[in-house]
Amino acid sequence: MPKTGFTISLVGRPNVGKSTLFNRIAGRRRAITFGEPGVTRDLVSVPVEVDGKRFHLVDTGGYMPGKQEDDDLLAKVRGQVLRAIYESDVVIFLVDARDGVLPLDKEIAGMLREREKRFFLAANKVDVRAGRESIDQFHELAADRIFPVSAEHGTGVGELLDEVTALIPETPEAEPRPEEGVARIAIVGRPNVGKSTLVNTLVGYERVIASEVPGTTRDAIDVLVKFGGKRYLFIDTAGIRAKRKTENVLEKFSVIKSLDSLSHCDLAVVMIDGSEGLTHQDQQILRYVLNEERAVVVAANKADLWKGEEDKRKGMHAIQEGLGYAAFASIVPTVATSGKGLPLLFKKIEEAFEGFRLRVPTAILNKMAQTFIYTVPIPSKHVRNRALYMTQIGVMPPSFAVFVKDRKSVPESFTRYVQNKIRAHFGFNGSPIRIVYREK
């Protein structure tokens, strides 16, 4: 969580409603909420503007006591919470008003005072009678004031925000948000192929929790990365397993968030386990990317497990053979733990992003089309059909309109032919090409 302007973090023990309040303040469903403790693990951060005041809002995992040797995953969640507290300007400390003061609430309050961190105590779930009647108990946490709120219904949230945002210094109107004008890159793949490890290597610290336990990442996490003088917004996502293997509702929510990130990104890095080769599920994930018409780069991770150059060559060839309609994607061998292959990965990301936005002048496009497209009859059993004219009508993805005599009789094979000819002459490396037909 690099420091980017005024930062407000939400902390508290598990299942007190932090993610619900986060979504309420952010104004959209950004964090996964679910009726069981421990859903949030990584830090989820979004830029927010309230009454002209801009700040970064951070949702944290539920703080749990214990020693690292007891549970490595809990220890990592706890470390993330402590980091968020340290790097925040203000903390909103959330408690469950229905439960009264619990020992863990006292521990968190003591930790905040020990670090001399300015915090606002919000007693959540006052929409029920038990919550309203227990508020006075929280005075023993020695907060300056208790804010009764209902994150679910919004009660009291406005008053809380008025007090918190009053501490934010005036921000120049022209100050850009860190994410504006930055390529959005979703890292997708099966569980445990190294997605979170790659993100942590890119930023140089454990920004997202990486564990050998499949399914550690549950939400889609935005991470701003600088590389080679440029900025990129990477989205670390939960592992996507086959539908028949998703074991519970929470895992299904996580997969939905991962797939949703594809519709909001510019480019997808599909990470696979290079030592295993391209699996059926990897191919399905590639189909998800193609359905969203996003640019794509394949990262063949764990490349250090290949036994020599010959084994690597065979492995890369087998992956290339299995790409199918995504054969235009570059394959980059990587080792996420050490950062090996990252310069080449960024080079291919740049190429794919450039192709995703490339626009070909009409005169140059038609010069190619006169030789390879207009003179080629379109296969058809019923009518004599051919292409008459072609123009580019959009980018992201690059889209071309081909004017024909009869658009209903154009077979898929001709579309592939047109796409291949466009690629052969203009590149579009790593980018899908959309072809639409119109009658003239």
pLDDT value at residue 26? 85
Dist. CA 31–CA 46, nearest whole Å: 10
Report residue 215: phi and psi, to 5°. Answer: 90, 15
Ordered alpha helix ranges (H), 170-278: 195-203, 249-263
pLDDT value at residue 123? 92
Report residue 211's pLDDT band, with 50, 70 and 90 as the boundaries. Answer: very low
Dist. CA 421–CA 359, nearest whole Å: 15
pLDDT value at residue 353? 95
- Out of 169-173, 187-191, 288-292, which region has the weakest mean confidence (pLDDT)? 169-173
Would you call 142 helix, strand, or coil by DSSP? coil
Q: What percent of the chain has pLDDT over 70?
A: 80
Residues whose CB is less than 8 angstroms from the CB of residue 269 and which lie 6 or more positions away in sequence, other chains included: 185, 186, 187, 188, 296, 297, 298, 299, 345, 349
Task: Let me know how many helices (H) and strands (E) the chain has, helices first.
Answer: 12, 16
Dist. CA 402–CA 310, nearest whole Å: 44
Nearest CA among 408, 417, 373, 416 for reference residue 391? 373
Is the pLDDT reported for residue 42 higher than 60? no
Nearest CA among 280, 335, 284 for reference residue 312? 335
Is the pLDDT reported for residue 341 higher than 90? yes
Once rounded to an integer, what is the mean pLDDT over residues 268-292? 94
Residues 270, 185 contacting (CB under 8 angstroms): no
The four Cα atoms 62, 63, 68, 71 give a dihedral, to 10 degrees, of -30
Once rounded to an integer, what is the mean pLDDT over residues 201-228? 61
Summarised one tens digit per residue, pLDDT across range 62-112 is 666 654 444 555 555 566 677 777 778 999 999 998 888 998 889 888 878
Q: Which residue has the higher pLDDT, 18 or 440?
A: 18
Mean pLDDT over each residue of the chain, to the nearest integer? 82
pLDDT value at residue 237? 75
Q: Which is it for strands 183-189 and 267-273: parallel, antiparallel or unpaired? A: parallel
Q: What percent of the chain has pLDDT over 90?
A: 45
pLDDT value at residue 63? 67
pLDDT value at residue 314? 95
Q: Is the peptide bond before 397 cis (omega within 30 degrees of 0)?
A: yes
Dist. CA 1–CA 223, nearest whole Å: 8
290 burial class (0-12, 13-18, 19+ CB within 10 angstroms)?
middle
Report residue 215's pLDDT band, with 50, 70 and 90 as the boundaries. Answer: very low
Residues whose CB is less than 8 angstroms from the CB of residue 393 and which lie 6 or more positions away in sequence, other chains included: 399, 400, 401, 436
Residue type, position 375, single letter: T
Report residue 36's pLDDT band, with 50, 70 and 90 as the boundaries. Answer: very low
Residue 167: DSSP 8-state? T
CATH number of 183-356: 3.40.50.300
Residue type, position 88, single letter: S
| Fold observed for domain 7-165 | Rossmann fold (3.40.50)
- Out of 121-130, 263-272, 299-308, which region has the weakest mean confidence (pLDDT)? 121-130
Summarised one tens digit per residue, pLDDT across range 220-255 is 577 888 888 888 988 877 767 665 554 544 455 556
Dist. CA 376–CA 275, nearest whole Å: 43
Is the pLDDT reported for residue 217 higher than 60? no
Q: Which CATH number fits domain 362-439: 3.40.50.300, 3.30.300.20, 3.40.50.2030, 3.40.50.720?
A: 3.30.300.20
Once rounded to an integer, what is the mean pLDDT over residues 420-427? 95
Q: Which residue has the higher pLDDT, 133 or 328?
A: 328
Q: Which residue has the higher pLDDT, 119 or 247?
A: 119
| DSSP output for 295-320 | EEEEEEE-GGGS-HHHHHHHHHHHHH
pLDDT value at residue 214? 45
| DSSP output for 264-284 | T-SEEEEEEETTT---HHHHH
Once rounded to an integer, what is the mean pLDDT over residues 155-182? 75
Domains 7-165 and 183-356 are alike in CATH topology:
yes
Is the pLDDT reported for residue 163 higher than 90? yes
Q: Which is it for strands 385-394 and 399-404: parallel, antiparallel or unpaired? A: antiparallel
Report residue 330's pLDDT band, with 50, 70 and 90 as the boundaries. Answer: very high
- Out of 55-69, 142-156, 266-280, which region has the weakest mean confidence (pLDDT)? 55-69
Q: Where are the domains of the chain?
A: 7-165, 183-356, 362-439
Q: Kindly report the CA angle at 364 between 358 and 369, in degrees rounded to 5?
A: 105
The four Cα atoms 276, 279, 282, 286 give a dihedral, to 10 degrees, of 120
Dist. CA 157–CA 299, nearest whole Å: 43
In Å, how far from its chain's centre is CA 308?
Answer: 34
Summarised one tens digit per residue, pLDDT across range 393-417 is 999 999 999 999 888 889 999 999 9
Summarised one tens digit per residue, pLDDT across range 307-317 is 999 999 999 99
